[in-house]
Structure 1
């Protein structure tokens, strides 16, 4: 029996290259969300879908918040090869460059998820994030968000005047700066301590997350005056991986990942919106909870305060100024400013 050596060699080469490819792309990606949150569950479905779409060539081990490093350290962990990627809120890196705080959560800029996603995908945000992450050896694949976050409060909040003197938990950076400018007293408190801080009176209110997550965690039971829909925070959630890993992928694999993240953004925003609607209905049926919905005039007042702080925050670094110019030009061009 004669063997075609050329064909046999090619067959073995194909098998070998496929096995190497699969081994190369077992990606260890850390999320900024705990495993019990709906956010993490949606992220897990995305990871499973990527494996299916690539026929097992890209496998993602999704790790909950804090599994390997702190949320603020994932960018360095990717550069050092400790992690392969992240699903995180970009604003966590504002300590490295204020630009991340500005593009990660430009307080008061976006009225809904569609506006932010349109900016990221079609308005220059993707290119800007790619530029910002380049020095860290990290490739920005794409962005999502959760939704306009609710505000949990122990006291009634019906407008900007009610923020005066309010002890409110808020993340470091622009969010704290805006609330301070509005007359509140921001408190730097980890997310894990929000419930305890509210119950013990350390804080009066908290900028935490979306309504359904707050409701599930019992926040509205101890702080029965939530503001919904929120008026302040709409964070950018980014999915990024090591640039070295990205460069080793085929164009087809890169395209699959890019499209998968756009699909993930639809899943994340839609599923959380549905969950929020159900949670609001449940809260409205509870006589102990009063939902406060700010009118347009009060929302405009808060946004006017936020806009003054965008400009101040932009002065902190050249990259922050780039973000400010990019976002404000986009908002103005689309009649949103």
Structure 2
């Protein structure tokens, strides 16, 4: 009898062992969607590393799942989170034009001398001035970032040394702010999916592209670049926001919220610095490309025309209720100057 009892207990112990040996499961799962390719530095820092940091800061209490494929097109990330399909996502500010005006300060000409400085400037400006306007309705913004300033990369015979050189030229550019900047210079914006850019370049459909060299590298068109016209701070840029559903956020415990906020601390700077690093690695390759660094009278000509883009933003921001857009623009640029001084650039 005793032997049979011992055998039964031993069998029970074997059956229960995996249960007791298994690690504790995370209590909360967050679905963090991404439409970006894994090699993109924005994906690596603002999504992959951020997700890992959330799990670490929560001591495993939160599990962040990144789907293998995007749960919605790139221009539907905001709606996807609002509809509860995913909990978190990243969206281009230009992807929600019907909602967001104020954060587009990061997309303006001359406002991204470095991605790190611009990302910090946008985050501080958002929290100081824009947060009360709740433009990102239904979600909580956890981080913002700005890409390096977009430049004019010629892919043919075009030599854009003056505004007159650009008259009637066909410039590939993302729709929205950058296309509007192209129009101000008298050129013709050509829009397409990023994946179609190589075909547009190789077939001579465009004379130039509005982008940074690292983006051209990612699109596999950098080898076709024949010249670069460089504008201090860029012809404009692209800004992004990382966010979580407000409903999902409110359902988290205070400890879980604090863990996410700790993970997000410094994320704008890290994301921007990663973009700058990728761009810097291309410096030896870009040194072989004839470059026109606009300055003096040349730059003044471009500045005069592009000022209209800044004035348009100020007008729209005032209609949103921003009491002093000039004060906000000065604040943003003061942060840029502070960060440039801190980095020694």
1:108–1:306 contact (8 Å) kept in structure 2: no
- Residue 169 to residue 334, structure 1, CA distance change in 2 (3 Å): closer
State the distance in 1 between where 2:37 and 2:323 align. 34
State the distance in 1 between where 2:252 and 2:154 align. 47
TM-superposed CA distance for 1:197, in Å, is 0.8
Q: Which has the larger radius of gyration?
A: 2
1:141 is aligned to 142
TM-superposed CA distance for 1:241, in Å, is 0.8
2:149–2:235 contact (8 Å) kept in structure 1: yes
Q: Does 1:322 align with 2:320?
A: yes
2:248 is aligned to 245
TM-score (structure 1 length as normaliser): 0.78
- Residue 40 to residue 335, structure 1, CA distance change in 2 (3 Å): closer
State the distance in 1 between where 2:133 and 2:285 align. 44
Moved over 4 A (4+): 124-127, 323-327, 333-337
Q: Does 1:51 align with 2:49?
A: no
Q: Superposition RMSD on alpha carbons, in Å?
A: 3.1
SS at match of 1:30: coil
SS at match of 1:123: helix
SS at match of 2:52: helix
Q: Once the two structures are superposed, what CA deviation does each residue of 1:133-180 show, in whole Å capped at 9, x if it has no partner? A: 453x11111212232234322132234333221201222222212210
2:33–2:86 contact (8 Å) kept in structure 1: yes
1:220 is aligned to 222
2:173 is aligned to 170
2:38 is aligned to 35
TM-score (structure 2 length as normaliser): 0.76
TM-superposed CA distance for 1:211, in Å, is 2.0
- Residue 213 to residue 110, structure 1, CA distance change in 2 (3 Å): closer
State the distance in 2 between where 1:102 and 1:183 align. 22
1:234 is aligned to 237
TM-superposed CA distance for 1:76, in Å, is 0.8
Superposed counterparts of 1:42-121, under 5 Å: 42-43=45-46, 44-63=48-67, 67-94=70-97, 96-97=98-99, 99=101, 102-103=104-105, 105-113=107-115, 115-121=117-123
2:149–2:234 contact (8 Å) kept in structure 1: yes
Q: Which runs of 5+ in 2 are unaligned?
A: 1-23, 337-345
Which one is further off, 77-86 or 292-301?
292-301
Q: Which runs of 5+ in 1 are unaligned?
A: 1-18
TM-superposed CA distance for 1:101, in Å, is 7.5
1:153 is aligned to 154
State the distance in 2 between where 1:110 and 1:333 align. 14
State the distance in 1 between where 2:253 and 2:128 align. 20
State the distance in 2 between where 1:125 and 1:293 align. 34
SS at match of 2:66: strand
Aligned residues: 308
SS at match of 2:109: coil
1:13 is aligned to none
1:291 is aligned to 291
- Residue 314 to residue 127, structure 1, CA distance change in 2 (3 Å): closer
- Residue 279 to residue 187, structure 1, CA distance change in 2 (3 Å): same
SS at match of 1:148: coil
2:170–2:207 contact (8 Å) kept in structure 1: yes
